[in-house]
A = this chain, B = another copy of it.
């Protein structure tokens, strides 16, 4: 289906918004998916997005769809990228604005909306995804890793996944899981403390062998 506007230009048949929501679950980076209940590709897993209306911003649509399809409440969404390939949706030219978020796994309710199988899926073992959503998830992962590399972002946003207070060793394990690579412990400690975004609680906690670790909170 192809539409044209008054001036004779091609017009999209709609606009969608798709949230790419990541978490860390049992040490594995996961993305939030829900099954499609409508054609095309009914029954397949997809990003939990939907059609944008003119009465709300695309970001509000992404939040609303996330809530309707997965039960996940308010999250901080960052605009990721817009996908506008005319062949990306069999219904017609349907651009989608994708958003990215990193959240705690507990924000997915134990009983999400029925029929959709809203669930966390490890990136290392994704099911086949509808439309071009696999590529969108890839781009989201790339963006997430770029954000995390910024230690200020990591401490202020990423470390929100840790229960407070936490040790720098816990923060390092989280950082490594998000970045997908090991880092040098001394450099990591120096860099995260240099952000000035952590406060030392003055307390310590033992973490197995070796010296106990100091406990920090985000400021």
Are B52 and A84 in contact, with the CB atoms below 8 A? Answer: yes
Q: 0/1 per residue, A30-58, Cβ < 8 Å to B?
A: 00000000000000000000011111011
Residues of B within 8 A of A57 (CB): 84-85
Copies of the polypeptide in the assembly? 2
Contact for A9 among B10, B51, B86, CB less than 8 A: B51
Residues of B within 8 A of A79 (CB): 81-82
Q: Chain A: interface secondary structure?
A: loop
A92 (CB) vs chain B CBs: closest residue: B5
How many A residues, CB 8 Å from partner?
30
- The minimal Cβ–Cβ distance linking A143 to chain B, given in whole angstroms, is 11
A2, A10, A79, A92 interface centre (most CB from chain B within 10 Å): A10
Binds B, one of A11-19, A161-169, A187-195: A11-19
Contact for A82 among B5, B82, B92, CB less than 8 A: B82
List residues 127-176 of chain A with CB under 8 A from any CB of chain B.
none
Are A84 and B15 in contact, with the CB atoms below 8 A? Answer: yes
Residues of B within 8 A of A55 (CB): 86
- The 10 listed contacts between A and B (C-beta, < 8 Å) are A1-B6, A9-B51, A9-B53, A10-B53, A11-B11, A52-B84, A57-B84, A58-B84, A79-B81, A82-B82
A residues contacting B by CB (< 8 A) are: 1-3, 5-7, 9-15, 51-55, 57-58, 79, 81-82, 84-86, 92-93, 95, 97
